[in-house]
C-alpha cells in the first residue's frame, strides 16, 4: 500500500510540475486519503482521520465535515487562534488544499513573522496577526480583520488556557463548525474550567503544563447555549467538534460520540522536563488547584470535584 501511495504522489507531482518537496508531498497524500474516505462506511471518527498538517487526525475529520455539510463558497473562510508558526495547525490543509481564506492569530510576534515569510502567505488569502487573545479583545480582533462581515465555515480555538471564556465571549461571527481543545485531565463528569484570568499563561500557571482550558462537559454546556450540537472528539482526545444546530442533520451519520481520555503525555516535572505522567498521576499533580463550575460559578479544588472518578 505504501508503494502505491508513493507512486501516486510521484505521478501527481509530475503532472503538476511541482518540485518534490515535503509540503507538496503532504498535500498530494492528503488528496489521496480524502478520496479514499469517500468509499468508506463511516462507523467511528477514526475511519476518516488523517494527519497532514494537523497535530493529530483532524485534517481528515475536517475534510469529511466540509464535504458532508456541503460548505458553499460564501462560507469557505476560517479563523484559528494559537497557531504558533503554522507548521502544525487545523486549518493549514484547508488553506493549501481547498483554497479557503483565513485569519490566524498567535501571541508570538516571532511566529507571525515566520508565517509571513512563507511562500503560501502570498499565494493564498491568509491574514496573520500577533495578539494575546483574551475576552476583552477577541471581538474587536475579529471585527477589524479580513473576516469582518464574512460567513465563517470553521472556527478553531487552541490557546491552552482561556479557551472556554474566549468562545463564550465571541459574538461577531456565527461559524458552521467549531473545533475547540478540551482538557481531558478535568474528567468527563463536571462542567469545569480554569477561572478566567486575562493574563493566563499555561507554562506559568503550574510547572506541569496540565492546568489549562476546560472539560468536555463545560464546552458541551456552552455549545448548547450558543446553538451548537456536539458531534464527537478526535481519537487523540484533545479536540471537540461542534456543529451549528440548523445544519447538524445534514451529516446524516450516527457515528460513535467519542469522548476520549487523552493518552499523549505532555506533562513536565519541576525542572521543565517531560515526565510522561499517566492519567492518575496527572490528577494528583494538579488536584490542589482551583477550577470553576461554569454552570453554578462555584470554585472548588479539582481533587474535590473528581474524587469519585480518580
Give residue-wise pLDDT tens across range 236-246.
999 999 999 99
Of 72, 126, 66, which is closest to residue 96 (Cα–Cα)? 126
Residue 15 confidence class, pLDDT cut points 50, 70, 90: very low
Give residue-wise pLDDT tens across range 274-290.
888 877 888 889 999 99
Cα three-residue angle 6-11-13, rounded to 5 degrees: 95
Judge whether 62 and 154 are in contact, CB under 8 Å.
yes
As a whole number of angstroms, the distance between CA 9 and CA 187 comes to 42
User: What pTM does this model have?
Assistant: 0.90
Give residue-wise pLDDT tens across range 43-88.
888 899 999 999 999 999 999 999 999 999 999 999 999 999 999 9
As a whole number of angstroms, the distance between CA 261 and CA 237 comes to 5
Amino acid at each position: 500500500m505504501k508503494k502505491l501511495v508513493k507512486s501516486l504522489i510521484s505521478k501527481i507531482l509530475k503532472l503538476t510540475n511541482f518540485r518534490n518537496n515535503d509540503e507538496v508531498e503532504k498535500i498530494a497524500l492528503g488528496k489521496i486519503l480524502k478520496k479514499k474516505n469517500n468509499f468508506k462506511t463511516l462507523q467511528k471518527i477514526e475511519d476518516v482521520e488523517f494527519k497532514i498538517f494537523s497535530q493529530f487526525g483532524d485534517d481528515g475529520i475536517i475534510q469529511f465535515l466540509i464535504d458532508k455539510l456541503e460548505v458553499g463558497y460564501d462560507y469557505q473562510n476560517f479563523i484559528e487562534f494559537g497557531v504558533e508558526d503554522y507548521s502544525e495547525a487545523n486549518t493549514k490543509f484547508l488553506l493549501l488544499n481547498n483554497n479557503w481564506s483565513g485569519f490566524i492569530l498567535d501571541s508570538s510576534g516571532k511566529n507571525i513573522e515566520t508565517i509571513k515569510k512563507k511562500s503560501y502567505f502570498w499565494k493564498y488569502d491568509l491574514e496573520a496577526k500577533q495578539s494575546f487573545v483574551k475576552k476583552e479583545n477577541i471581538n474587536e480582533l475579529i471585527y477589524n480583520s479580513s473576516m469582518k462581515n464574512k460567513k465563517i465555515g470553521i472556527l478553531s480555538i487552541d490557546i491552552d488556557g482561556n479557551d472556554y471564556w474566549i468562545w463564550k465571549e465571541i459574538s461577531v461571527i456565527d461559524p458552521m463548525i467549531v473545533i475547540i481543545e478540551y482538557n481531558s485531565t478535568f474528567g468527563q463528569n463536571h462542567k469545569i474550567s480554569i477561572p478566567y484570568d486575562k493574563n493566563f499563561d499555561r507554562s506559568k500557571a503550574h510547572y506541569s503544563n496540565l492546568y489549562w482550558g476546560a472539560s468536555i462537559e463545560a464546552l458541551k454546556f456552552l455549545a448548547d447555549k450558543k446553538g451548537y450540537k456536539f458531534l464527537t472528539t478526535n481519537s487523540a482526545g484533545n479536540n471537540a467538534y461542534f456543529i451549528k444546530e440548523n445544519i447538524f442533520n445534514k451529516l446524516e451519520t450516527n457515528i460513535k460520540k467519542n469522548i476520549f481520555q487523552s493518552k499523549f503525555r505532555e506533562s513536565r516535572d519541576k525542572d521543565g522536563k517531560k515526565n510522561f505522567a499517566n492519567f492518575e498521576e496527572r490528577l494528583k499533580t494538579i488536584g490542589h488547584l482551583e477550577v470553576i463550575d461554569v454552570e453554578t460559578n462555584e470554585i472548588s479544588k479539582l481533587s474535590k470535584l473528581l474524587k469519585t472518578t480518580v
